[in-house]
Amino acid sequence: MEQLDQINLKKTDPFNMYSHIESFCEILSMAYAEAKNIAIPSYYLKSKKIVLLGMGGSGIANEMMKSLAEKTLKLPIYVIHNYKLPLYTDEDTLVVASSFSGNTEEALAGFIEAHERKAKLIAITTGGKLEILAKKYNAPCFNFSYKSQPRAALPYNFAFILSVFVKLGFYELTDSNFNSTIEILKQFSEQFKISSPTTRNLAKQIAQKLENKVPVIYAADYLYAAARRIKAQLNENAKNFAFTEDLPELNHNSSLGLTKPKSCIHVLMLKSAYDLERNQKRFDVTLDLNLKNKIASELITFKSFNHFEEMLKFIIMGDFISFYLAVLNQVDPEDTNDIEWLKKRLG
């Protein structure tokens, strides 16, 4: 316990990843206010399909928005984590490309193709080639400046795509509800901060359980986006293998794979109060099955007023877990050497 209660940030976190995690709510609020200043053409309201382009942290923001919006929106929403657009992309399609650097090759390829197909375009970026293309195509560009690794800019990416959906009437969220949720989340975050001792800090406790383990995150329906974010943060910040499984699908295959290996697996089950009643029962029964097979597992749930608040609670908790696991793994949470190596090999 002492190791996580006496963290030397200058030594373990020289590039201040913790400060980005700690400030998630403040950054999200500031970014959402910034987004109000960007106008979107009124004819974009006539979009009949939505395609969201993005990789990594930008792609996760898109997944979050899709999961929230498709609860009430009757338009189809597609999230693309690749180079090519689906064949159904046309002039009736809204295409939003998100790239922190503005140079993500997959998002750029999709954005160029979308222009060729006469789609309605929006860009979200800090600059780079995507900003240049947005100006060339006369497309709205949510341009922001934030010094961090792309994954730490999730509050910006999410705030901007959220603003797009709200402005176009694709997702209902009043300023009052947004602001009240931010205040709830700020208070919620306090329990996970370094100043909160391990005995009262769920994020530290889970990080300890994940040390020298392979985390597998279970989630159903719209919370699967949160599971993917947690998985990615464990990969990128803690340099740890981690995987996701979606319920109920996992009950038709993974539930038979509990024999080997056992000792290296730890399952985190993200249970939503808004899951279908049948899936809620599946979570409980699946937990019992895992424990019967001696697979370390725990079910996590948070009381929330709505989907929006609940999803962000899981994501905030996951960010803190990834930082504390990085400390236990004795790695720099900022480091991206292997990804940079990969990019150089790709050319």
253-293 pLDDT, tens digit per residue, is 999 999 999 899 999 999 999 999 999 999 999 999 999 99
> Does the domain made of 38-173 have the CATH classification 3.40.50.2000?
no
> Would you put residue 244 in left (φ > 0), alpha (ψ -120 to 50) or beta?
beta
Average pLDDT for the chain: 96
Distance from C-alpha of 46 to C-alpha of 42, rounded to nearest angstrom = 8
Mean pLDDT, residues 114-143: 97
Q: Do domains 2-11+186-329 and 38-173 have the same CATH topology?
A: yes
Q: How far, CA to CA in Å, does 108 sit from each of 100, 105, 314?
A: 12, 5, 30
Among residues 252, 260, 292, 303, the one annotated as catalytic is 252
Mean pLDDT, residues 179-200: 97
- Determine whether 236 is an active site residue: yes
Q: Say yes or no to pLDDT of 243 above 70.
A: yes
Mean pLDDT, residues 146-150: 90
Going by pLDDT thresholds of 50, 70 and 90, the confidence category of residue 104 is very high
- Determine whether 307 is an active site residue: no
- Residues in contact with 111: Cβ distance below 8 Å, sequence separation at least 6, in sequence order: 53, 95, 97, 121, 123, 130, 133
Among residues 22, 63, 106, 236, the one annotated as catalytic is 236
Condensed to tens digits (0 to 9), the pLDDT of residues 312-340 reads: 999 999 999 999 999 999 999 999 888 88
Among residues 46, 48, 84, 343, the one annotated as catalytic is 343
Going by pLDDT thresholds of 50, 70 and 90, the confidence category of residue 46 is very high
Bridge partners of residue 95, in order along the sequence? 51, 121
Mean pLDDT, residues 185-196: 98
Condensed to tens digits (0 to 9), the pLDDT of residues 68-87 reads: 999 999 999 999 999 999 99
pLDDT at residue 158, as a whole number:
97
Of all residues in the chain, the percent with pLDDT exceeding 70 is 99
Contact in structure between 204 and 289 (CB atoms under 8 Å): no
User: 2-11+186-329 architecture in CATH?
Assistant: 3-Layer(aba) Sandwich (3.40)
Mean pLDDT, residues 103-107: 96
pLDDT at residue 339, as a whole number:
87
pLDDT at residue 72, as a whole number:
93
- Determine whether 113 is an active site residue: no
Preceding omega of 197 cis (within 30 degrees of 0): no
Of all residues in the chain, the percent with pLDDT exceeding 90 is 92
Closest CA to 224 of 254, 249, 246: 246
Mean pLDDT, residues 294-311: 97
Q: Say yes or no to pLDDT of 1 above 60.
A: no
CB atoms inside a 10 Å sphere around CB 313: 21
pLDDT at residue 344, as a whole number:
86
pLDDT at residue 2, as a whole number:
61
**Predicted structure pTM score:** 0.96
Where along the chain do its domains lie? 2-11+186-329, 38-173
